[in-house]
């Protein structure tokens, strides 16, 4: 289950980013905005969009996009997750989130653009959780780019893949 990020991260603005604590149906949650664009929320609907990956990831994990770290907190203590490499382009976001979120030693945050990232190892589970992955054609491009870095039974999943044929995103 998603952690309630408002318990870790205070409301603030930094650079183009803003973190806001909001309420919906008497439930408090945390939202991350990049300018006026919503980048992440820790609302139950967001959890549902990430649930498949959270439940099925294992081994060496690659995540494109840090957000507020809710997916990472949700998987880092799983016994079958060895380590998690997170690729995030925005150094300011990395610094703020790392300052507030208690990541464990399995987490390695890499300040790089996922477009230019070349893995040095193979992964069992890859999660593409960035704005560009919201475009159906980008889901397929990321799958094609990273499938050579998958282990034999590894898989790639994109945040918005419920709008795309799941078979196009899983590589076995």
Confidence at residue 163, expressed as pLDDT on a 0 to 100 scale: 39
Confidence at residue 136, expressed as pLDDT on a 0 to 100 scale: 52
Range of the domain at 113: 49-168
Rounded to whole angstroms, the Cα distance separating 150 from 73 reads: 23
Tokens of 23: 């309420």
Quick one: average pLDDT of 34-56? 85
- Looking at the structure of the chain, the number of domains it has is 1
Confidence at residue 169, expressed as pLDDT on a 0 to 100 scale: 42
Task: Provide the whole-model pTM.
Answer: 0.87
- Asked if residue 131 belongs to a domain, the reply is yes
- Asked if residue 108 belongs to a domain, the reply is yes
CATH assignment of the domain containing 92 = 3.40.50.150
- Asked if residue 117 belongs to a domain, the reply is yes
- What is the residue-averaged pLDDT of the chain? 85
- Asked if residue 35 belongs to a domain, the reply is no
pLDDT at 117 over 90: yes
Q: Is the Cβ–Cβ distance between 106 and 82 less than 8 Å?
A: yes
* DSSP 8-state class, residue 147: G
pLDDT at 168 over 70: no
How many CA atoms within 13 Å lie on the side-chain side of 169? 23
Tokens of 162: 């419920």
- Asked if residue 3 belongs to a domain, the reply is no
pLDDT tens sequence across 66-114: 999 999 999 999 999 999 999 999 999 999 999 999 999 999 999 999 9
Confidence at residue 59, expressed as pLDDT on a 0 to 100 scale: 98
Is beta strand 27-34 parallel, antiparallel or unpaired with respect to 37-41? antiparallel
pLDDT tens sequence across 119-148: 999 999 999 887 644 445 556 777 788 889
């Amino acid at each position: 289950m998603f952690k309630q990020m408002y318990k870790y991260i205070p409301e603030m603005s930094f650079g183009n980013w803003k973190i806001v604590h909001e309420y919906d149906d008497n439930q408090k949650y945390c939202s991350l905005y990049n300018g006026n664009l919503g980048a992440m929320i820790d609302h139950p609907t967001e959890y549902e969009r990430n649930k498949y990956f959270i439940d099925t990831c294992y081994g060496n994990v690659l995540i494109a996009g840090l957000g507020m770290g809710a997916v990472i907190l949700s998987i880092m203590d799983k016994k079958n997750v060895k380590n998690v490499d997170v690729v995030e382009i925005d150094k300011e976001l990395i610094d703020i989130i790392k300052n507030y979120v208690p990541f464990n030693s399995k987490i390695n945050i890499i300040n790089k653009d996922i477009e230019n990232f070349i893995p040095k190892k193979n992964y069992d589970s890859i999660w593409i959780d960035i704005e560009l992955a919201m475009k159906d054609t980008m889901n397929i491009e990321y799958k094609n780019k990273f499938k050579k870095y998958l282990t034999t039974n590894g898989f790639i999943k994109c945040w918005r893949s419920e709008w795309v044929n799941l078979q196009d995103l899983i590589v076995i």
